[in-house]
Structure 1
């Protein structure tokens, strides 16, 4: 099951509840049409004094009709509670007239854009666990958006290539590569970019593929130089997840190779979770582009190959999940801050007999989108409570600094204390989501 997600809009309100727990309402909806400088909401009357709400920030959380865009911010300069529908006067003017039924947020402590920016900062500090195949295939982990690194080809037609994000068609990571044949395409290929390898190189070639019931999958290691198949292609007609793996030796006259993933018959659909090609004598592994720092690499491991699947249409095909992940070897890191390829790590002690994997950690992505509406709708898998508490604590620290500058020491101490409480609440979760503390090995001769 995938990790739960949380949108920027919902996290912003969660943070608002932490830094301003008592003041209400935090969110509401306009009950009548206003103007570019007035907001009408019956929920506000007669719950306040005339000076309440003045100085608050209003964040437009929903575009209603032809009203202002999501993310527009204005400040309350005056209030009127004389009628049944309270009126807030806003400045600067919004870009369009507020219509009835528009959702908005009321922020009393800080401008809402500060919360948005701080959420992105906190996501960049946190780390999420990732598993990546060790492979020289471009987009072999299938994590790149789109299919530009794969070439569609076929017999009788051309298959449709796409990235799929739905279960059960993804085994590792966020997406898989789907190959969908139409009724006239009897062989549908997804061809990788070419890889340059010296003749005589022995490689592990492997993949996990999800085969739709009744369909067939094949993986071919191909000699581009001589236009020939290398060895015997791996294939299976089983349904569900199947592991394909074998050793291949690049012919002496070959300089350029590819891997071809294939749906083998008309209307077949297969989903390729990852495809690995790795020279067994290669001890150096470049840092995957999906990771940011060499320190984000935690370990190298492999999955033991399961029981072979029998049958004439199963060649080097194996069952999934018949062995737990096994630690492979310790590695030494190489870091060249001035290099184009700045990070690399080496495994000098072993030669792999199975496809290798990296366990790493990477920052969570900032909320993405060209507009605030898109960013508010974007989601993250980061733990809701960790993000909320860390963001709120960071803002409370800033408010404490402001209080100190205003010579309000007691207020500053209270704000710092609240920030510490928020961090303490999530410390047990936070330990799994931040870079580990530096370990110090002590001996009887260690001096402090």
Structure 2
């Protein structure tokens, strides 16, 4: 089963159901609210606002978030132009001046992910004020919520609230919105949620690797340069998958994202950027793949001598499989790459993170990711043992064996605070399999209301409420902080802050 996820909007609403009880004007209102009639660019209408004794200044000083009703729309492409034309079929935007957030768009120069004010062109296109020199594809566009404030004496006593500044699109009937208690606003709560996520660490399995972007983390910043280098011809589909979008992806064993490709010819494919190796070094390489249609070929390629290293492996099953190579780098080979390609014109396949390439004949330094800032994040060193052979012996193996504690050798760390990559781990892989690190990794922040996190919902609710109440000087924060601590312990979060037994495997 895929991990349960929670949206940023859900976290905000969970917190407001408690925090709004401390504001007399909001205590009797549901969350979220919905307009009961169409408003204007400076008003919203909702008969529920007139509950109880009412007066014109009842909602003065409250921040309001008018939630957009448009679903995130898939982007087809960004054009080479200034301004760049964004094609997103049936995007739902209606007028120039609307603010959108683009996320997950890949391949463009410069990176256009982020917030933009659009110029409306048509039902399927709009422009953003960016000079794009290399077009990109994929990702989503989402309309940003409007954050406004209630005007002084801005309530008519029955159903209409006047706010400022004016919005571009008037809120229609049944539009959801939130009213925040005094002393709190939507942007403030969003920043607080991100702060909690950054300060919360959860268990994560990290495989050191020489493969560039081996954990596919570049998907988060829209850079596909490391992977969408076609071997030849064109791919009909090339995308990062960040969620479980089909029944097979629910079986993904490691990581949070994968590469998805469909091919239009028998010589197409994807490959990593080349990376340097030492000739005659022995290595172990491990890749997790599935062939949804056709047959997939996986190989390690000698870029220096233009030759396959060892024997290419073929996959013809839709379930996730591990492909493992134990080979030696050929003489005079200076760089290698990893390649995936279909053997039929209808080939479709997924490649999952991590993509592992570790040296077994000597110790090698491996760059640690940017979220790794302290050796105290390490819980344990592990190795991935070989699974049970499936069909042809030596071809590929099923995911049938669990990670196991590694006995030796112990990895060591290099800390160069002023370096481009300040943390490195030095290790030597063994015949037991590729080495992994069970680490504490911070959760990713959320960019839009529809963004999701795997952080536990009850933990996030309690932690956010505790933080707001503490800032308000409300002693009830202690109760919510205790709830958050108990939930964090149950979920295995923030173990660096808890009493744990010393790790006998990794010296930190």
TM class by shorter-chain length? 0.7 to 0.9
Q: How many residues align?
A: 411
For residues 373-392 of structure 1, the aligned pairs below 5 Å read 375-392=448-465
- Is 1:345 the counterpart of 2:345? The answer is no
Cα deviation, 1:232-276, whole Å, max 9, x if unaligned, reads 223343442222213211122222222222222231222222432
Deviation at 1:174, TM superposition (A): 1.8
Distance between the aligned counterparts of 2:52 and 2:184, measured in 1?
23
CA shift digits 1:357-407 (9 cap, x unpaired): 232222222221xxxxxx12222221112112211211111111xxxxxxx
1:144 to 206, 213, 218: 218
Greater shift in the superposed pair: 54-63 or 173-182: 54-63
Deviation string 1:153-196 (CA, Å, 9 cap, x unpaired) is 24x865744323434134321222234223xx123332221122
d(CA) in 1 for partners of 2:175 and 2:366?
A: 51
Q: Distance in 2 between matches of 1:379 and 1:171?
A: 20
For the residues of structure 1 that align with 2:333 and 2:364, how far apart are their CA atoms?
22
* Among candidates 180, 204, 210, match of residue 262 of structure 2: 180
Matched-pair contact (CA < 8 Å) for 1:203–1:248? yes
Secondary structure (helix, strand or coil) at the match of 1:344 reads strand
Change (3 A) 1:174 1:278: same
Residue equivalent to 1:20: 20
| Inter-CA distance 301–75: structure 2 relative to 1 (3 Å threshold) | same
C-alpha contact 1:292 1:362 (8 A) present in aligned 2: yes
With over 3 angstroms needed to count, the CA separation of the structure-2 counterparts of 1:123 and 1:216, relative to structure 1, is same
**Partner of residue 231 from structure 1, selected from 292, 310, 329:** 310
Alignment of 1:100-119 (within 5 A): 100-112=173-185, 113-119=187-193
Distance 1:158 1:55, change over 3 A: closer
Structure 1 spans left out of the alignment, 5+ residues: 369-374, 401-414, 443-448
Aligned CA distance change for structure 1 residues 246 and 44 (closer, same or farther; 3 Å): closer
Equivalent residue for 2:239, pick from 152, 155, 162: 162
Distance 1:153 1:159 in 2: 14
Alignment of 1:436 with 2:499, yes or no, is: no
Superposition map of 1:57-206 within 5 A: 57-62=63-68, 70-78=145-153, 85-94=158-167, 97-112=170-185, 113-145=187-219, 147-150=224-227, 151-154=229-232, 160-164=237-241, 165=243, 166-167=245-246, 168-169=248-249, 170-182=252-264, 185-206=265-286
Computed over aligned residues only, the root mean square deviation of the Cα atoms, in angstroms, reads 3.0
Aligned partners of 2:299 and 2:339 also within 8 Å: yes
What secondary structure, in the 3-state scheme, does the structure 1 residue paired with 2:496 have? Answer: coil
Q: Which residue of 2 aligns with 1:404?
A: none
- TM-score for both structures, normalised by structure 2: 0.73
CA shift at 1:352, angstroms?
4.4
* Contact persistence 2:384–2:432 (CA under 8 A): no
Return the alpha-carbon distance in structure 2 between the equivalents of residues 140 and 441 of structure 1: 31
Deviation readout 1:130-157 (Å, 9 max, x if unpaired): 2233321112233321542122124x86
Pick closer, same or farther for the CA change 1:285–1:24 going to 2, 3 Å: farther
Tell me, yes or no, if the aligned pair for 1:302 and 1:327 is still in contact at 8 Å.
Answer: yes
Is structure 2 residue 328 aligned with structure 1 residue 246?
no
Q: Is the 8 A contact 1:57 1:75 kept in 2?
A: yes
Residues 300, 336 of structure 2: 8 Å contact kept: yes
CA-to-aligned-CA distance 1:335-375 (integer Å, 9 cap, x gap): 22122221123347x7444122232222222221xxxxxx1
Range that drifts further, 132-141 or 114-123 = 132-141
- 2:482 is aligned with 1:424: yes
Partner of 1:280: 360
Change over 3 Å in CA distance of 1:336–1:435 after alignment to 2: farther
Q: Describe the SS at the equivalent of 1:232.
A: strand
User: Pick from 25, 28, 41: which aligns with 2:46?
Assistant: 41
Q: Which deviates the most, 90-99 or 28-37?
A: 90-99
Deviations 1:46-69 (A, max 9, x none): 522325333333222236987997
Instruction: Give the Å deviation of 1:204.
Output: 1.0
Describe the superposition over 1:16-75 as per-residue Cα deviations: whole angstroms up to 9, x where unpaired: 122223612143222234444443322223522325333333222236987997232212
Shift in CA distance, 241/378, structure 1 to aligned 2, threshold 3 Å? closer
**Contact 1:58 1:76 (C-alpha < 8 Å) held by counterparts:** no
Q: 1:393 to 1:202 in 2, by over 3 A?
A: same
1:125 Cα shift? 0.7
Structure showing greater Rg: 1
